[in-house]
Structure 1
Amino acid sequence: MSSAVVPELPWLLPGALTRATPVARRTTRDWLVDGLAFLLALGWVLLAFGDSVGPAPEFALNAGPSWLNEVDLVVGLLTTAALWLRRRWPVALAVASLPLAVFSVTAAVALLIILFTVAVHRPFPVAAALVGAHLLVTPVYNQVRPDPALPFWAAMIWTASFLGGVLAWGMFVRARRQLVTSLRERAHRAEAEQQLRVAQARQLERTRIAREMHDVLAHRISLLSLHAGALEFRPDAPPEEVARAAGVIRASAHAALQDLREVIGVLRAEVGGAEVETPERPQPTLADVPALIGECRAAGVRVSTEDLVVEPATVPAAVGRSAYRIVQEGLTNARKHAPGAVVRVRLAGRPGDGLTVEIRNPWPVGEPPEPAIPGAGTGLVGIAERVTLAGGRLAYGRDLAGDFRLAAWLPWPA
């Protein structure tokens, strides 16, 4: 059934005479449910009327004046036809059909369907009030159309059981739909929050890289200022010193432009209102990877290393920092998800071929023996952003050998 809520009395709303009330279109499922409800109510109309005019009326479902049977047939057919409007005006139909509950037998099923619709689509106080109103007219109905097979109080209990069952069933369906809607909204919200966390992780990684480049740029520019000042205050310096200072200025300017180009690539958005912060300690490089592995070994992690880097002293500082962060993230993930496993770290590369960093550990079997280390799940996102900004490639996941593999290639110019 459609869950759209539409006012039952649109003519009472301001401006309703000048604009139409939007109504949700029925889905295929709605048409099937409405058709089944219509056929069920129509079948009861025909059954009840045929029983009341049969050859043995003393065995009729309900007794009463003979002329009332023809009126009841018309009322039952009209109420059954009104079921097609129950989605739009369930409360209005329940109120309008209340007088029919005084005498109509043929409209009984249609009335129950209308009350069920009210219980599904309207709050509990509204549904309970309408069910209570229909229950209050039950004594009058039993006086007008007494049941020859049941005494008065038995008929009252029977009718109250039907009305209570319809109300309970409708409230159950309503609660279940609200639960499904709530779970769907929570899933959408969790997905949106995860995307936001990923975006924040990327932005934080860009900011972190920009801070790392601060010291390098400051060093280049201060070197430029120093040599330019020397040329300004000593214009009569020997040509050899002028040429040497000019060469240093040219090399420093070229390196500063390269670093500045990396910073501009990181800072894609304009940042305003930045506060002065305490300078961070010097950032790690490739030469600090052995110390990092030593710290992990001291903490109990079994790490095997394979260093095949040719001329490691010539690795650019930015590439070395990225390699350090990749090894750090790989060892952290191994401690979190595969405690006790042997972690293999492999470094290889040469100028012109690039630097390859690979961390591999066996895939964990079963649950970890101790509580898992909590994490936000954005570490690999930040590493991927760092490698992409450096112009490299990153791959991670389970390989054909069944191990978890984190591998990155970083450009290393000749």
Structure 2
Amino acid sequence: MHQERSQNWAAYGRYAVVTLLTLGAVQNGASTADGQYLTLRTAAAGVCGALLLLRPGHWLLAPAVTTAAAGVWGWPMLSLLLLALFQLAADRHVPAAVACAAVALTGNALLRPAISLWRPQQYGSSLFLLLAIVAGLWMGNRRRLVRALNAQVEHLRIERELREQAARVAERSAIAAEMHDVLAHRLSLIALHTGVLATRKDSLPSSVVERLLLLRTASTDALTDLRDVLGALRTPDAATTTGDPTTRGAPSPAERPAPVLRDVREVIEQARAAAQHIDTVIDGAPEEAPAAHRLAVFRLVQEALTNARKHAPDAPVRVRVDYRPPATLVEIINTAGTPTRQAVPSGFGLVGLRERVEALGGHLTAGPGGAGSWRLAARIPHPAPGPGPGPASASASASASEQIGPA
């Protein structure tokens, strides 16, 4: 929008300059004809001005007509000739501009109009013609430079948007892979315990055995579906490294990452081992928050400590984590330190963290704090608790427990 407005103002300015120079040429032509405006030279000035303003046909048409008029009538057409040479040089037609200047000067030398281009100075108007060509070269180079810089800025903007989008997609893939680990573990526990209970079908009512078998089948089917849908996110190239269609997409034991539900204290201890000064306050137990919150807290603290170590390695860091309902709170503040020259901020780590936090219904803020410090804070609300068991469900649970009997 700003670029279009600048182009519009440039066009308006060009129209105004050409109009003023044309009026000046008409006035000069009339003054050399004893004040008569309806003459051939004033008409030629108007035609040259219109051609320079509209630029119809070939790019050489307007400069050629203006050069011819200046060669015949001399000084009254000088302003329009300077403008034509300026436009030729700005459009990188320097040989044509030099040729037009030479033709106009030669025509004046041969035809000798009333006020020649060789007057009133001894060297004539050749210096003005040369200055017009030089000014046109400078303006054209500047115009092309500005256009190239605008294209480069637009390219960088598009590249940054694509990199931000790639960071969001990568973070979503990481979330899916982590939740695959968590859900696979819990579904495996359900399938395992229901299978153990199903082995005691001789001492259980048939209705209970049927429900246990149904629960075991549903859990194993859900585990298979989860592995089919999200398992490929763990190792994208696994399908090309194995020829067995039954194991395609499943990561090998060496490729499986460490357990995802890691305690945030681990990454803090690792940072302290790297000589980073960290003051930690952790309220509540991690078990009070959902698994997705614990994964987000680990990533937030890990990214914040990494950035602090990268940009201000000698700055102390304060980490506060609160797992207690109604929301998981994270706040990391590092005071002003000595920035490292090797650190080149990209900002895409924060893009991924914001994508993760917003996917959980929370919000993240990151920016400079007071006295040159940097603050990262996130609030992730806990899911609303479901309705408690009613009398009917409580009695059904009690009767089912009585039917199952002691383990």
Q: Which TM-score tier does this pair reach, normalised by the shorter chain?
A: 0.7 to 0.9
In structure 2, give the amino acid aligned to 1:140: G
Q: Taking structure 1 as the reference length, what is the TM-score of the superposition?
A: 0.71
Which residue number in structure 1 is paired with residue 347 of structure 2? 377
Give the one of 325, 340, 352 matched to 2:314.
340
Cα distance 1:395–1:134, how it changes in 2: closer, same or farther (>3 A)? closer
Deviation at 1:312, TM superposition (A): 3.4
Q: Distance in 2 between matches of 1:318 and 1:300?
A: 30
Q: Distance in 1 between matches of 2:102 and 2:175?
A: 73
Corresponding position: 1:101 with 2:70? yes
Q: Distance in 1 between matches of 2:73 and 2:181?
A: 90
Corresponding position: 1:174 with 2:140? yes
Give the one of 152, 161, 184 matched to 2:127.
161
The sequence identity of aligned pairs, in percent, is: 30
Secondary structure at the aligned position of 1:406 is classed as strand
Which residue number in structure 2 is paired with residue 60 of structure 1? none
Contact 1:306 1:345 in 2 (8 A): yes
User: Which structure 2 segments of 5+ residues have no match?
Assistant: 241-248, 386-407
Q: Distance in 1 between matches of 2:280 and 2:262?
A: 14
Corresponding position: 1:292 with 2:259? no
Secondary structure at the aligned position of 1:340 is classed as coil
Which residue number in structure 2 is paired with residue 144 of structure 1? 111
Which residue number in structure 1 is paired with residue 400 of structure 2? none
Cα distance 1:208–1:391, how it changes in 2: closer, same or farther (>3 A)? same
Cα distance 1:255–1:359, how it changes in 2: closer, same or farther (>3 A)? farther
* Paired residues for 1:66-145 under 5 Å: 71-86=40-55, 90-105=59-74, 106-120=76-90, 122=91, 124=92, 126-145=93-112
| 1:221-261 alpha-carbon deviations (Å, 9 max, x no partner) | 444555666677x5853218995996798599689979x99
| 1:183-202 alpha-carbon deviations (Å, 9 max, x no partner) | 11111111111111111000
Q: CA RMSD in A?
A: 4.4
Contact 1:343 1:360 in 2 (8 A): yes
* Paired residues for 1:218-233 under 5 Å: 218-223=184-189, 225-226=191-192
Which residue number in structure 2 is paired with residue 212 of structure 1? 178
* Paired residues for 1:186-201 under 5 Å: 186-201=152-167
Secondary structure at the aligned position of 1:339 is classed as coil
Contact 2:105 2:117 in 1 (8 A): no
| 1:352-403 alpha-carbon deviations (Å, 9 max, x no partner) | 43322211122x37xx353242343111111111112223332222346864
Deviation at 1:344, TM superposition (A): 0.7
Deviation at 1:341, TM superposition (A): 1.5
Which residue number in structure 1 is paired with residue 388 of structure 2? none
Which residue number in structure 2 is paired with residue 58 of structure 1? none
Contact 1:220 1:256 in 2 (8 A): no
| 1:116-137 alpha-carbon deviations (Å, 9 max, x no partner) | 22333x3x2x342243144145
Which residue number in structure 1 is paired with residue 21 of structure 2? 40
Contact 1:227 1:245 in 2 (8 A): no
Give the one of 270, 276, 281 matched to 2:257.
281
Which residue number in structure 2 is paired with residue 328 of structure 1? 302
Corresponding position: 1:239 with 2:212? no
Q: Taking structure 2 as the reference length, what is the TM-score of the superposition?
A: 0.72
Contact 1:397 1:405 in 2 (8 A): yes
Tell me which moved more, 82-91 or 206-215. Answer: 82-91
Secondary structure at the aligned position of 1:355 is classed as strand
Which residue number in structure 2 is paired with residue 64 of structure 1? none
Q: Distance in 1 between matches of 2:220 and 2:343?
A: 41
In structure 2, give the amino acid aligned to 1:283: P
| 1:287-315 alpha-carbon deviations (Å, 9 max, x no partner) | 2x222111111211110111221x43454
Which residue number in structure 1 is paired with residue 334 of structure 2? 361
In structure 2, give the amino acid aligned to 1:308: D
Contact 1:87 1:117 in 2 (8 A): no
Q: Distance in 1 between matches of 2:97 and 2:364?
A: 65
User: Which structure 1 segments of 5+ residues have no match?
Assistant: 5-25, 55-68
Q: Distance in 1 between matches of 2:193 and 2:73?
A: 106
Q: Distance in 1 between matches of 2:340 and 2:86?
A: 52
